[in-house]
A and B are shown apart, each in its own frame.
Chain A
Amino acid sequence: MKHFSLSSVAFDPAQLRTTLQHPGSGGFCTFEGWVRNSNEGRAVDGLEYEAYTELALAEGERVVEEALVRYGVLAAHCMHRTGHLKVGDLAVWIGVSAAHRDEAFRACRYIIDEIKHRLPIWKKEHYLDGDTAWVACAHTHRAHEHEHAHEFASRTPAAETAFAPDYSRQTRLRDVGEAGQAKLAAARVLVIGAGGLGCPVLAYLAGAGVGTLGIVDGDRLDASNLHRQTLYDAHDIGELKVQLAAKRIAALNPTVVVQTFAEPLHAGNVAEVFAQYDLVIECTDDMHSRYLCNDAAVLTGTPLILASVYQYEGQLQVVTAQPGAPCLRCLWPQEPAPGIAGSCVESGVLGPVVGVLGAMQATEALKLLLDLPRPTDHALLLVNLLEGSTQRLPIDPAQGCVLHGGCVEVARHALAQAQDERAVDLAFERLGDAIAAGYTLVDVRELDEIAAQPLPVPSRSLPFAQIEARAGELAQGRVLLVCATGRRSGHSARSLREKGMHNIHSLAGGIAAMASARDQVPGAANDYRP
């Protein structure tokens, strides 16, 4: 039986409920989403859901299957409405049956959160005043971010007004004072990574009263995180870290507005997101993210605080992103190949070491936001906690990116390259252009299709059905998958990219879109362009 369905008419949950009954079930949990009569202060008369059906069904099915596996529940189903709905109508129904109540509750929560975040379903609200508006897609970053900002920061107005933060211990510092506190309240800080470094950063900045904190993390809490990620509890395992961190911050200082991004930033959106913040703190264990953040910081002029840890040691660098100031690439121009730099998973790490470096990042952030005195030169700080030593190495900007055209030029080039690598579907006028651009062509059509219409340029044959099994053969270089229409190649490229193979692309529109192919296709001769 399918686990996810869409319905354009009102449906009866009682029927769905019976399909989930199982002799082994001791708990049954449902969630119903209803149309309410207002949104953000506007009176709503009704609404209309529009889905990209094919994709919504596939992704919805995937979400429910994930919940079944993740929580080991016995049966689950989700039904989502499309079309016109009135206030009070049932918009989404989720039912989960499981041996015990806990996994039923968790799976139910997982399904509704993921559905809202990932499914291509759009909502058009009809207001009582006759106006209508499409509400931002719930599956994009922004809407997701907004939802959480709303949920965690403003859902409890009573708590917010009842709690008056007391910052007296820091305002007593002569360099801080009430004026400094006002600067913090107005500040918008983005923290990338809510792990070992991110936990102390978030806790200290929330405690200090930074007005808006953005949190980026796509991971769910794992038991192996708890020795160093101090915001979380043992019963949080399996939950999204951004949601856990947002809840923790709301509990710590309800006056802080939290914005969450439940997927890593990428070359396509990093600069746009950075531009919304005054300061960014990079706290991931991912070298690619460090370079991406460096480039976005330099291009948008957003100060960036970098730290990283290896076992008992750490490095700290503040990139002020001002003209003439050195950046990460001034030290190490190229992103090291994966595996070179080590990670907490591979190399191990002592929990408090990331705590120390994270606390240092929070300190640097507050120094920048408050304009506290800091050295005028720029340096890489090395911290060795086995020896109890620190070493401050001044960075000479004259020996850095300036030798390669300057930080901005280097960052622009690197970001453009990362964007290029990120694009899945690539359009080419001719297949020869793809080869000239350095792509290896891999034809995923069946052999009889290839015999009927061979490609006019050199290519490898790897039929669609065998791609997953033979993915290892495509690990090297830039690969362009080709099929008749772009559908099979696009599907394969996306599934390989999910496995981390970002070198795989798909020819947009397939062979049918090729100028050189049109004169070979019967009936398309009129489209021929020389």
Chain B
Amino acid sequence: MTTVTLQYYAQLREQAGTSIEQLTTSAASLRELYDELRTRHGFSLTSDALKVAVNAQFSDWGRALGEGDTIVFIPPVAGG
């Protein structure tokens, strides 16, 4: 099990009802983690519509989770 910090932006923040949370998970990759979160929070966006960053660096979805990672999911937004 890995404990990570999750940050949400835009629609994801709204759907999760929080902008930050800690989670202990057995997910092996960022993609698996996001799928787990989709079920938990009912996120409407799929991972291909998002960018993900780990510890302030963009990352690919196949990356394994590290203890204490800060993971940010970023949807494109259009308001103006």
Q: Which residues of the other chain, B, contact A399 by a CB distance below 8 angstroms?
A: 58, 60
A-B pair count, CB < 8 Å, reads: 100
Contact B78 A311 (CB under 8 A): no
Q: Are A331 and B80 in contact (CB under 8 A)?
A: no
For residue B4, CB closer than 8 A to chain A, the reply is no
A286 at the interface (CB under 8 A from B): yes
Q: Are A382 and B80 in contact (CB under 8 A)?
A: no
In the complex, which residues of chain B have a beta carbon less than 8 angstroms from the beta carbon of A307? 80
With the chains together, A399 CA to B63 CA distance in Å? Answer: 14
Q: How far, in Å, is B56 (CB) from chain A's closest CB?
A: 6
CA gap between A61 and B73 in the complex, in Å = 52
* Chain B residues near A392 (CB-CB < 8 A): 56
Residues on B with beta carbons closer than 8 Å to the beta carbon of A193:
80
Q: A310 contacts the other chain (Cβ, under 8 Å)?
A: yes
Inter-chain contacts of B14 with A (CB < 8 A)? 311, 347
Contact A195 B80 (CB under 8 A): yes
CB contacts (< 8 Å) of A387 on chain B: these are 19
Flag if B49 contacts A391 (CB, 8 Å): no
A427, CB-defined interface residue at 8 Å:
no
The A175-203 residues at the B interface (CB cut-off 8 A) are 193, 195-198
A387 to B78, CA, bound (A): 20
Decide yes or no whether A343 CB sits under 8 A from chain B: yes
Q: Count the B residues whose beta carbon is within 8 Å of the partner chain — how many?
A: 22
B37 CB to nearest A CB, Å? 18
Tell me whether A310 and B9 are in contact (CB under 8 A).
yes
Are A313 and B9 touching (Cβ within 8 A)?
A: yes
Docked-complex contact A342 and B77, CB < 8 angstroms: yes
User: In the complex where A332-B49, A342-B10, A386-B19 touch, is A284 in contact with B58 (Cβ < 8 A)?
Assistant: no
A354's contact among B53, B58, B72, B80, by CB below 8 Å, is which?
Answer: B80
Q: When the two chains form the complex, which single residue of B9, B51, B72, B78 contacts A286, counting CB atoms closer than 8 Å?
A: B78
Q: Which of A311-342 contact B (CB under 8 A)?
A: 311, 313-315, 331-332, 336, 340-342
Which residue of A has the minimal Cβ distance to B48?
A334
Name which residue of chain A comes closest to B70, CB basis: A391
A380 at interface (Cβ–Cβ under 8 A)? yes
**A283 interfacial contact with B, CB 8 Å:** yes
Chain B 30-41 near chain A by CB (<8 Å), digits 1 or 0: 000000000000
Closest 4 CB pairs of A and B: A310-B10, A310-B77, A285-B80, A341-B78
Which residues of chain B have a CB within 8 Å of any CB of chain A? Answer: 9-11, 13-14, 19, 45, 49, 51, 53, 56-58, 60, 72, 74-80
A selection of 26 A-B contacts at a CB cut-off of 8 Å is A283-B80, A287-B78, A290-B78, A307-B80, A308-B76, A308-B78, A310-B9, A310-B10, A311-B10, A313-B13, A314-B77, A331-B76, A332-B51, A332-B76, A336-B76, A341-B78, A342-B78, A343-B78, A344-B79, A354-B80, A357-B80, A380-B58, A382-B9, A393-B57, A396-B57, A396-B58
